[in-house]
Amino acid sequence: MELRELISQSFSSLTLNKVRTGLATLGIIIGIGSVIALISLGQSSQKAVQTQIQSLGANLLTVIPGSQSSGAVRGAIGGANTLTYDDALAIETSSQITTVKNVSPEFSRHAQITAGRNNTNTQILGATPAYADVRKLNIASGVFITDRDVEGLSKVAVLGPQVVTDLFPDKTNPIGQFIRINNQSFRVVGTTVSKGGSGFQNQDDIVYIPLSTAQKQLFGSSYLSSISVEATSDKVMTQAQNEIGYLLLARHKINDPASADFSIFSQNDILGAASQITGTFTALLSGIAGISLLVGGIGIMNIMLVTVTERTREIGLRKALGAKKRTVIWQFLVEAIILTFTGGIIGIAFGVLASYVISYFIKLPFTVAPHSIVLAIGVSGIIGIVFGWYPARKAANLQPIEALRYE
């Protein structure tokens, strides 16, 4: 029997019981739909993290104080006080360093800030003017921290857009207003353009103040939280990383690079780590969706088995009229494949729609992973074959006499 004929025959027997066919397909629709939605959402969030990190600049290096070893005790990464303003100055001025364009020393703490009756707890970042260049930060209104501010320990602040919304919900112009950080008064001189981002790494929920003010007036520390370094191009990242590494090792009088008291990350390192995390999440969620797909497949098998039992007489008759074993196998297999395939197609539409709606609500870029669609079609076809095979074989192995006698 020709394939086209098999398909048209399978369609007519599937349409005989529309409710059952619909319910059988539903399992596959949900399974495929959730796989598509979750893979697409995983990709969107991966992409979002990528653009966020890349918006910081592809030639950005970050030096953070690292695990400082004193004797046999190794401290936590980032927890040590090892980087100083002089280190940053040396990176900028040393003759050994040829690949660095800009250096931004940074000091960061969380603090409670208030403006009138509104208050928020956010990141206070002590910075120099270089920060705006290195981090590709744009000013929305007013000005950023100037050299004069840093030299004069000025009590001025530049607000990220999230802080503006939190502190000035009535939309008054924050420029010229005063805010209090740890009970010290700061004048707002500028606001920044949103850089996007979400969660614990929100680049918009931040207050910039002069580095000197942060260190000396506010938090009383002479160390740095990090040094951001802009390399001359993204092709010399490794060289820049090495140059800075050797300079700091020499300055800190450490011979063995393995016991360095600082770490240097490029954006690519962070990107890689972040991608790995989102990738793991995507895989995990897809695994869960895969389970629902499996359950859907078992549903198909269940329906096909019921169908075989119910149509025992029909199978017997078909065999008596000359249907060969493989013809019967094909008939039932094609029915199962049509069920899963139709379910797959509807599931794709459903999944794309779902990921569109979800990414709209959680403000992610909407992407549909083409490979997830190919995967879904393939998987639904395979499910049809795998779960259709057993019932089909059962049907084909029925003896025509037994089948004809069946009541």
Site for other proteins, rule CB under 8 A: 1, 5, 9, 12, 16, 313-314, 317-327, 399-401, 404
- 229 vs 396, beta carbon nearer other proteins: 396
Q: How far is the CB of 5 from other proteins (least distance, A)?
A: 7
Q: Are 217 and 153 spatial neighbours (Cβ–Cβ below 8 Å)?
A: yes
Q: Are 385 and 333 spatial neighbours (Cβ–Cβ below 8 Å)?
A: yes
Q: How far apart are CA 284 and CA 49, in angstroms?
A: 18
- 184 vs 399, beta carbon nearer other proteins: 399
Q: How far is the CB of 323 from other proteins (least distance, A)?
A: 5
Q: Are 163 and 132 spatial neighbours (Cβ–Cβ below 8 Å)?
A: no
Name the residue type at position 276: Q
Q: How far is the CB of 306 from other proteins (least distance, A)?
A: 16
Strands of 160-258 (E only): list them: 178-181, 184-192, 206-210, 226-231
Q: How far is the CB of 315 from other proteins (least distance, A)?
A: 11
Q: How far apart are CA 400 and CA 321, in angstroms?
A: 10
Q: How far is the CB of 15 from other proteins (least distance, A)?
A: 10
- 144 vs 332, beta carbon nearer other proteins: 332
Measure the CA angle with vertex 315, ends 310 and 320; round to 5°. Answer: 150
Strands of 116-248 (E only): list them: 118-127, 139-142, 156-159, 178-181, 184-192, 206-210, 226-231
Any idea which residue has 């208030």 for tokens? Answer: 114
Q: How far is the CB of 22 from other proteins (least distance, A)?
A: 17
- 133 vs 314, beta carbon nearer other proteins: 314
- 258 vs 321, beta carbon nearer other proteins: 321
- 235 vs 325, beta carbon nearer other proteins: 325
The pair of structure tokens assigned to 348 is 């794709």
Cα→Cα distances 214→37, 113, 182, Å: 45, 14, 11
Q: How far is the CB of 299 from other proteins (least distance, A)?
A: 24
- 175 vs 317, beta carbon nearer other proteins: 317
User: 364-381 b/e with 16+ CB inside 10 Å = b?
Assistant: beebbbeebbebbbebbe
